[in-house]
Amino acid sequence: MRATLWMLALLAWSLPAQAQPAYDPAEGSGLTLADFLDDKVTHEIRITINAKDLKALQDNFRDNTYYPANFSWRGITVENVGIRSKGRTSRRAGKPGLRVDLNRFEDQEFFGRKSFLLDNNIPDFTMMKERIAMEVYRRMGLPAPRETHCRLYINNEYFGVYTLIEATDKKFLRQWLDDDEGYLYEWEYLNQYRFQYLGDNPSLYSPIPFKPETNEKNQDAKPLEAMIRTINEASDADFVTAVSEYLDLKQFLSYLAVELYLSEYDGFLSEFGVNNLYFYRYDKKNLGLFIPKDRDNTFNGADFPVLKYVGDNVLAKRALAVPELKKHLTEELLRVASLCGGPGGWLDQEIDRIYALIQEDARKDAKKECPEGPCSVSESNDVFQRFIDFIKEFPKNRRSFVVKELKEAGYPLPSEVPGLEQGAVSNAAMEAAESVAPGSLAAVKGSGFGTEPSELTVLVGGVAAPVQSVTAGKLVVQVPWETRTGVAPLVVIRNGIRSEQINIKVETTAPAIFFVLNEAGERVKGEKPAAPGDVVTVIATGLGEVANRPETGAPAPAEPAATLLDTPAVLIGGVPADVLSAALEPGAVGRYRVAVRVPGGVAPGAETPVVIQAGGVASPAHAIAIR
Amino acid sequence: MTGRAAVFALLAAFALPAQDTQHEKAEKEPDDNKNVRFVWKKHPSLRFGDWLRVDFRARFQLDWSVYDPEVKGTPELFNLERRRLAVEGTFLKHFEYEISRELAQTDFPWKDVYGNFRYFRSFQVRGGRFRIPFSMDQLTGPTNLDFVERSRIADRLAPNRDTGILLHGPLGERGGVKYQFGYFFNDGDNAADRFNQRTGENTWAGRVTGNPVEFLRQDPGLFKDLTLGVAYNTSHVPEGLWSLRGRTVSDETFFPYFFVNGRRSRFGTEFEWLPGPFSLKSEYIAAREERKGQGLSGQDLSDLIARGFYVSGTWVPTGQPKAKSLSKGRRVPFISRKGWGAIELATRYEYIRFGSDGGPGRPSRSTRAANVLGNSNRLWTFGVNWYLNQWTKMQGNFVREKLEDPFRSPIQGLQTFWSYKFRLQLAL
């Protein structure tokens, strides 16, 4: 027994000591990292720093010297963090961009993260480019930091609207790539460098331009040299195979597609050479990928050139000489276009949403600048509004410009790329009605739809909406029964090529009338009027939930009928009619039959209005003849 | 011949067994009638009658250092640590002087530059640049150190040289108590900042040493060479990133500069006992620095505190007495036709810690932390000294250091470091 105890004691002693978890003042607060990075609110962050340190930071804003400070958010204070000035061309004394290192002076974290960034939104006069651009990357499935806006107070002085940015660190890498033991490099700008081979000395590539951010003491830059050499020297025939050992080429082109679509001015392809990226090389592999950094130079206009600098960059030029990769870039550009959408699409709405969140704080921000530099608050407010108006134009015209440039450059665009018109979606019964209801029929107007429904997929809220009919300029789909009310994205995909994404308004009910039939099954109109006492059937859509509901796309059952849960009201000539039955039309998709008796008090007329009300919503009037 | 080769040749010449030289012969035949004469006793010396004496002194130290693990990139294995030239002597009857300059790369090339007026034995006045009286180890000249490196507390906490004026002398009939009391413009070379700007101002310093046994008016016997001492100094440090700093044997920082403002005070005690071929020495030093208005909101912070001690012992197995021959420059030539000089074994344990006097909140490494997360260094040194003759000494040390905080280590995450040091020293 004693021997066993000794053995156990020895075993316990020989086990490696468990590392103490870092102190996290947010622990137990009931809040999470998602709350900290919540992009639905404008946060408030307060920093306390010794007044002399603040002056030193501002006087030496070009230095990377860390200063101790306390940082507070929603009542949680993190003491003794390290802050330093950050940025390259955006560095300012008056409104310094800041890097906040929680663990600079002690082993502590904040929601499990060791650092974050506070971007001063200079020189982005809209204050939102960086945040929107990173969101596009993430929506494309590409690793990019989460960002939101905050009001920053330093020593109780308002320093303005900042963008709070998640750090690209090991936790970020683990979350996105399931690997954090590899080598993360931050791109250190090298004048006019475009991935040319500089020689076989690895020190020509790291620490400039590939500046190590992880594994700093265990660096091996040889794979970087090998990557650049292969990019430059691999034969055309071997290019994809050889470079794929070092770089995920398709990921690179997806990364590039976002940058090009968003008209980045200072990214991978620019007149200045490569800039603003991280490169991550996986642990125990040569393979790596790009991660975006600093995207506040995006949205430079819908007509900003897309392919102008492709030929200057060795990697882009050689990759896009491969037909398969060229096709991939084209598809990815169209995917970005689809995601961003046109007028009323996701990007358009996102600009409006962020504007609503920040505009009040932005107008109070006395440290924001004008293009010429520091200026008065009223001048900078004019600039802010002017640039917001400018960026609002971007979703309207960018897609068509990109498609045009791709077409002119001979990129392999599909014969017709699906595109959506402004206000493209309406109720199929009466196209004036813009909202639709689950299960109802919607009309989508645009171009490039072809005529073959099997080539088309329409997604509403990510769920396939069955195509009922298609012509060159219009298609009719059933809004999936599963669609939630509110705003839902809609995108048309033809042979894998996506249209821009637009948002549609989905209500519980959105009634509209196709036509009214008499007992003989004929439409009630001029020559075939109905008389008071006749039973007529209103064929409509968007009347709401039914019992015995069929699957989305499936015809309605006859027996038992899919009757409406709430009986609608029908007014003929303003007089309420008795509703005899109300159910989905058996054998049809998305159409309802409502049988009513024409009331006795209806005055004769060739254009007597019929209105159907469901869920408290009235349809537009449909005219019938009453004798 | 390159400069390095010339130095080696010079070292080799010094390392040869001592011979009766022409200089010694010259000393035996002084020509007292001449006003100007050259004498080589301990050092080469010019005598201008009775009114001026100029002794020429030189010291060369060639160091070889290896650090494991390597902390300084490619190590400079050989380093001519010191190339110091000095003149010292007397002027008229009551004036003494010393001027020494370091020729090797150093932050402060002028070393001792002072004059001493000695009209009264017990009330001597020294003025100029010299060591502030604090710390026995710091006040011991590099020629007479038991180890290649001074203790960490002497190297980092004691002030070292500065410009000032000092009243000093032995007290009592037998001079058993010595005192030093002085004022200095600044706070010593060791407290300089990273740009070699001295940080403290208006330093007052005092030190008293003595042998308590001598007061017993009995034969002190074994305790004849016992010395106890106490020292204190205080200065004002203006606001800035100017605190005392912790550094390892390899000169890497393990406790950086902190913001301070206010008074810096140092207190030290010392003990030295040199019975026969043995020696036992120890010191304790505590330094305290105020941080007025250095908080993040401008509030006062708790004082920074640095303290430490060392205990060292040596033994000369070849039998020479430490006090009379090896210590304090009172050497006799050892290596000769009769023997190979003196061999001395030495060991030292030391501890130094930097932190703050408490404070609210979690301990932090922040330079404005209210409650400073401390860091300490524990060191063991083992060494051998070989005294070839009165001018030549070779020392070999190996040092083990263990840091408390792995994050403030020369190699982050590592706490234990080894240093191997070898020194060849020639001193005239």
Read out DSSP for B307-376?
Answer: EEEEEEEEE-TT---IIIIIGGG-----EETTEE-EEEEEEEEEEEEEEES--SSS-B--TT-SSB--EE
Q: Which two three-digit tokens encode residue A332?
A: 């990815």
Q: pLDDT digits over A42-97, tens only?
A: 999 999 999 999 999 999 999 999 999 999 999 999 999 999 999 888 899 999 99
- Nearest CA-CA partner of A279 in A251, A306, A299, A258: A251
DSSP states along A282-303:
-TTSS-EEEEE---TT----TT
What would you report as the CA-atom Rg of chain A, rounded to the nearest whole angstrom? Answer: 31
Stretch A92-104: mean pLDDT: 95
A47: closest chain B residue by CA: B296
| Average confidence score pLDDT of chain A | 92
Q: How far apart are CA A476 and CA A453, in angstroms?
A: 10
Residue A6 pLDDT > 70: no
CB contact (8 A) between residue B298 and residue A50 = yes
Residue B10 pLDDT > 60: no
Stretch A437-454: mean pLDDT: 89
Q: How far apart are CA B377 and CA B351, in angstroms?
A: 6
Residue A503 pLDDT > 70: yes
Which tops the pLDDT comparison, B307 or B77? B307
Q: How far apart are CA A293 and CA B216, in angstroms?
A: 80
A244 interfacial to chain B (CB closer than 8 Å)? no
**∠ CA A61-A67-A71, rounded to 5°:** 110
B258: closest chain A residue by CA: A68
* pLDDT in the model for residue B12: 47
* pLDDT in the model for residue B389: 81
Stretch B56-63: mean pLDDT: 90
Residue window 158-217, chain A: list those with CB within 8 Å of chain B.
217
Question: Is residue A400 exposed (0-12), middle (13-18) or buried (19+ Cβ within 10 Å)?
Answer: middle
Q: pLDDT digits over A250-283, tens only?
A: 999 999 999 999 999 999 999 999 999 999 999 9
Residue B5 pLDDT > 50: no
* pLDDT in the model for residue A545: 95
Q: How far apart are CA A176 and CA A278, in angstroms?
A: 14
Stretch A171-189: mean pLDDT: 94
Q: How far apart are CA B315 and CA B309, in angstroms?
A: 21
Q: How far apart are CA B404 and CA B400, in angstroms?
A: 13
Q: How far apart are CA A379 and CA A385, in angstroms?
A: 10
The 3-state DSSP class for residue B39 equals strand
Residue window 427-456, chain A: list those with CB within 8 Å of chain B.
none
Instruction: Tell me the shortest Cα–Cα distance from B238 to chain A, in angstroms.
Output: 14
Which chain A residues are closer than 8 Å to B295 by Cβ? 50
- Please, which residues have CB within 8 angstroms of residue B173's CB and are 6 or more apart in sequence? none
* Percent of chain A whose pLDDT exceeds 90: 78
Q: pLDDT digits over B337-367, tens only?
A: 567 788 999 999 999 999 999 889 899 999 9
Select the residue of B239, B361, B407 nearest A79 (Cβ to Cβ).
B361
Q: pLDDT digits over A466-478, tens only?
A: 999 988 788 999 9
Residue A432 pLDDT > 90: no
Q: pLDDT digits over B137-184, tens only?
A: 999 988 889 999 999 999 999 999 999 999 999 987 777 899 999 999
The 3-state DSSP class for residue A465 equals coil
Residue A106 pLDDT > 60: yes
- Please, which residues have CB within 8 angstroms of residue A259's CB and are 6 or more apart in sequence? A267, A268, A269, A292, A295, A298
* pLDDT in the model for residue A5: 55
Which tops the pLDDT comparison, A208 or B5? A208
By mean pLDDT, which of A148-162, A254-268, A493-507, B355-369 is the weakest? Answer: A493-507
Q: Are strands A42-49 and A147-154 parallel, antiparallel or unpaired?
A: parallel
Q: pLDDT digits over B396-406, tens only?
A: 999 999 999 99
CB contact (8 A) between residue A48 and residue B297 = yes
Strands of the sheet containing A441-447, edge to edge, are A419-427, A441-447, A474-478, A467-470
Q: What is the ipTM of this complex?
A: 0.76
Select the residue of B362, B365, B368 nearest A50 (Cβ to Cβ).
B368
Which chain A residues are closer than 8 Å to B367 by Cβ? 68, 105
Which chain B residues are closer than 8 Å to A53 by Cβ? 368
- Nearest CA-CA partner of B65 in B76, B80, B52, B50: B76
- Please, which residues have CB within 8 angstroms of residue A237's CB and are 6 or more apart in sequence? none
> Which amino acid, B172?
G
Residue B81 pLDDT > 80: no
* pLDDT in the model for residue B238: 94
Q: How far apart are CA A267 and CA A256, in angstroms?
A: 9
Stretch B101-113: mean pLDDT: 86
* pLDDT in the model for residue B208: 97
Select the residue of A53, A80, A107 nearest B369 (Cβ to Cβ).
A80
* pLDDT in the model for residue B6: 42
* pLDDT in the model for residue A151: 98
Stretch A195-201: mean pLDDT: 96
* pLDDT in the model for residue B19: 41
The continuous run of DSSP H or E covering B45 comes out as strand B44-48
Bond prior to A207 in cis (omega within 30° of 0): yes
Q: pLDDT digits over B67-76, tens only?
A: 988 886 655 5
Residue A211 pLDDT > 80: yes
Q: Hey, of A60, A65, A79, which one would you mutate to test binding to chain B, going by the most B CBs within 10 A of its CB?
A: A79
Dihedral of CA atoms A418, A420, A426, A427 in degrees, nearest 10, equals 0
| Average confidence score pLDDT of chain B | 86
Which chain B residues are closer than 8 Å to A82 by Cβ? 366
Select the residue of A49, A52, A79 nearest B364 (Cβ to Cβ).
A79
By mean pLDDT, which of A238-247, B302-311, B410-419 is the weakest? Answer: B410-419
Select the residue of A68, A70, A79 nearest B367 (Cβ to Cβ).
A68
Q: pLDDT digits over A549-576, tens only?
A: 999 999 999 989 999 999 999 999 999 9
A25 interfacial to chain B (CB closer than 8 Å)? no
Residue B193 pLDDT > 80: no
Which chain B residues are closer than 8 Å to A215 by Cβ? none
Q: Which two three-digit tokens encode residue A468?
A: 């009922």
CB neighbour burial string for A583-615, b if at least 16 within 10 angstroms, e if fewer: bbbeeebbbbbbbbbbbeebeeeeebebbbbbb
